[in-house]
Amino acid sequence: MKCLSNFTLNQKICSGKGHRWCSHKAYEWYENNGWITGCNYIPATAINQLEMWQPETFDIECIDKELSWAQDLGFNTIRVFLHHLLWEEDNVGFINRIDQFLAVANKYNIKTMFVLFDAVWNPYPKPGKQPEPKTNVHNSGWVQCPGADVLKNTNGYDALRSYVEGVVGNFKNDDRILLWDLFNEPDNTNSGSYKDDSYGMQKAELAMLLLEKTFNWVRALNPQQPLTAAPWKDDWTDASTISAIDNYMFANSDVISFHSYENKYDLEKRIQCLQRYNRPLLCTEYMARHLGSTFQEILPLMKRYNVGALNWGLVAGKTQTHCPWDSWNTNYEREPEIWFHDIFRSTGEPFDKDEVEFIKNLLKQKEIIQYQKVA
CA distance 263 to 252: 28
Strands 308-312 and 281-285: parallel
* Residue 6 domain-assigned (yes or no): no
Is 103 within a domain? yes
pLDDT at 233 (0 to 100): 82
Q: What is the pLDDT of residue 10?
A: 43
Answer yes or no: is 70 within a domain.
yes
Q: Where are the beta strands (DSSP E) in the chain?
A: 37-40, 77-81, 111-118, 177-184, 227-230, 256-259, 281-285, 308-312
Q: What is the CATH number of the domain that holds 207?
A: 3.20.20.80
pLDDT at 127: 97
Domain count, the chain: 1
Q: Is 175 left (phi over 0), alpha (psi -120 to 50) or beta?
A: alpha
Strand partners, 179: 113
Q: At what angle do helices 91-107 and 161-171 cross, to 10 degrees?
A: 40
- The DSSP line for 61-97 is HHHHHHHHHHHHHT--EEEEE--HHHHHH-HHHHHHH
Long-range pairs, 14-22, Cβ under 8 A, ≥24: 17/220, 17/222, 18/219, 18/220, 18/222, 19/219, 20/219, 20/252, 20/253, 20/254, 21/226, 21/254
> Is 373 within a domain?
no
pLDDT computed for residue 237 by the predictor: 78
CB within 8 A of 216, min separation 6: which ones? none
Asked if the structure places residue 5 within a domain, the reply is: no
CA distance 15 to 13: 6
The alpha carbon of residue 149 and the mean position of all alpha carbons in its chain are separated, in whole angstroms, by 23
Instruction: Report pLDDT for 238.
Output: 79
Give the contacts of 160 (CB within 8 A, at least 6 positions apart): 84, 146, 150, 210, 213, 214
Domain enclosing residue 228, as ranges = 25-364
Structure pTM? 0.93
Q: Is residue 10 part of a domain?
A: no
Q: Is 228 inside any structural domain?
A: yes
- Confidence (pLDDT) at 9: 44
For every one of its 375 residues, what pLDDT tens digit does the chain have, with 9 covering 90 and above?
A: 556 544 444 444 565 578 999 999 999 999 999 999 999 999 999 999 999 999 999 999 999 999 999 999 999 999 999 999 999 999 999 999 999 999 999 999 999 999 999 999 999 999 999 999 999 999 999 999 999 999 999 998 999 999 999 999 999 999 999 999 999 999 998 877 776 666 655 888 999 999 999 999 999 999 999 999 989 887 787 778 899 999 999 999 999 999 999 999 999 999 999 999 999 999 999 999 999 999 999 999 999 999 999 999 999 999 999 999 999 999 999 999 999 999 999 999 999 999 999 999 999 986 645 544 443
Does any domain span residue 372?
Answer: no
